[in-house]
Structure 1
Amino acid sequence: MSSRGGKSTTSGSNPVPGKPRSIGAALSGWVWFGGSLALTLVTAGLLAWVPFVHAAIRMRSAALGRRAAIYAGLAVLVVILVAVTPSTAQGDPIGTTSGLLSTLMALMAVAMMITAVVQQWSLRRTLFPAGSARTRTRADAEAASNPAVAGILAARARRDQARELAAEDPLMARELRIGRPDLARTYDDGGLVDLNSAPAAVIAHICELDPADADAIVTAREHHGSGLSNIDELLVLAEMPMHTWEVIRDRAVLIAT
C-alpha cells in the first residue's frame, strides 16, 4: 500500500492528489450512489446491505463487511416480524400487539434507510475519488507567484516521495523515522505521521484531530495487531468523522511493521 499526496492508494488504483484526477471517477461515484439510494429506498432498507458488500469487496475492508452483515441481519429480522405479525387478508394488523409490531417494523425500516443512505454518501467519494484538474492547475499557477502556496505544494511533493520510499523500503523508512516528528531525525518527510507507530498526541497534532479521535486510531491499530495497511479501511475501522478524512489522508502514512 502506498499513499500519494494525502490520498491512500492500493495497487495504484486511486488517483494522486496534487495531480488532475479523473472526472469519470466522480460520475461513477454518483452512479454508484444513485443505484445504492434507489436500491435502499425501493426495498425499504431490506437490500441496504448490498452496496456495503460491494464496498467491502472493493476496499477489502472487514469493517465494511461487518456493516453489511448488520444491515442484512436487520433485514432478516424485519422479514421475520412481518411473517409473525397477525394480519387480515388485506394486510392490516389485527389487535394491539400487531399494531405495535407494525409500528416497530416501520421505525426499523426508516432508521435503516436513513442510516444506510448517510453512510453510502460518505463511502461514495472513498470508493470513487474525483477532483478537478482545473482547480489544480489554478493552484499550480498560483504557486508561481505566492510563496505560501508554493510551500504547501512543495510539502506535498515531499510527502509523495516519503510515501513512495516507505512503500518500497519500510525498513529504511523506519530508520529515517518517516512519520515520527516526535523523534530526532534529519529526513524531511513533508509533515507525515505514521499511524502504525506514532503516539496519539502526535497523531492528533499532525492530523488536526480531537484527542478522542486520535485515541480511536491507536485503539484500532492495537486491535488489528499486525499493523494497518490501508488508510481508507482505517477510517472506517476507527469510525473517524467524515470531516477528518481529507486531512488524515493528506498527512498520514502507514509504514509496514
Structure 2
Amino acid sequence: MDTNNQAVKYMMPKMVLRREGNDLTSHFVTAMEPYADGANPRIENIEKLAPDQASEGAIAVKVTYGDITDIIVSLPDSNQEFIVDDITLKGKMGMIRLKDGEVQDMYLVGGTSLKKGNVAITDEGPVNGTIMGVKRQAAGDSKNAFITEASVPDDALGNTIVITHPNGKTHGYRIKSVDIEDGNTVIEIDHMDPGFSMDEDGESKMEFFPFTKWIGATTFRIENLKQLND
C-alpha cells in the first residue's frame, strides 16, 4: 500500500506567481531542470521573445547554457503562422538548438514547417478525423482500437492519438498499429482499454465510472513529429 511516507524525506522549493488587475492577459512560463544532489543546474538564462507576428496565446522563449541556446515556440493554434526574427513556425510547437549561434538540430511538432534563416524542416502535419467505432477486447473484440475513415500514415506508430469527446474532454492513447479493414482505418492502441464504447448511431458512453454518455461527434488528432537530423 502506498502511504506516501517517502515524500517527507525530500523537499522541492516552490514559488507562486500571481498577477492581479482588470482585463489581464498573462503568459506564465515555467522551466524545470532536474539535476542530481550535489550537482549544479546548467541553465544560465531564460528570455521571453517578442514576436513579429503571432496569434493570441503564442509564446517563445530562449534558454541559454554554455555555448548552447534552445529556442522553444508554442502556439495554441497550429494553423497560424508565428514569426520572430528569422524564425517562422507553422505548427503547434517548435524547438531549435543552436551551438555557438549555428543550428544544430530542430524539432517540429503538430505542424507543417519550421524555419530559421536558410535551415528548414517540413512535414505533412497532424492527422485529424472522426471516430466511427470502437473495438474493446473486454467486449469480445480481437483488439482495443478506434475505427475511422481518415487515412493515418504508418509512421504514426508509437505516437499518441488524442480522442476528444463531444463535451470537449480528452483522452490520450499510445498507437500500437494501423491497419485497413473493410475500407476503414483501424488504429490499435497499446495495452489499454479505450474506456468507452460507441453504438451504430455514433452515440458513445464511458464503460467505467462516472459512466458519462455523449451525443455528437467524437474526434481525434495525432500530432506529427519531425526532426532535422532524422
TM-score class normalised by the smaller sequence? under 0.3
Bigger strand share? 2
Larger relative contact order (Cα-Cα within 8 Å, sequence gap ≥ 6): 1
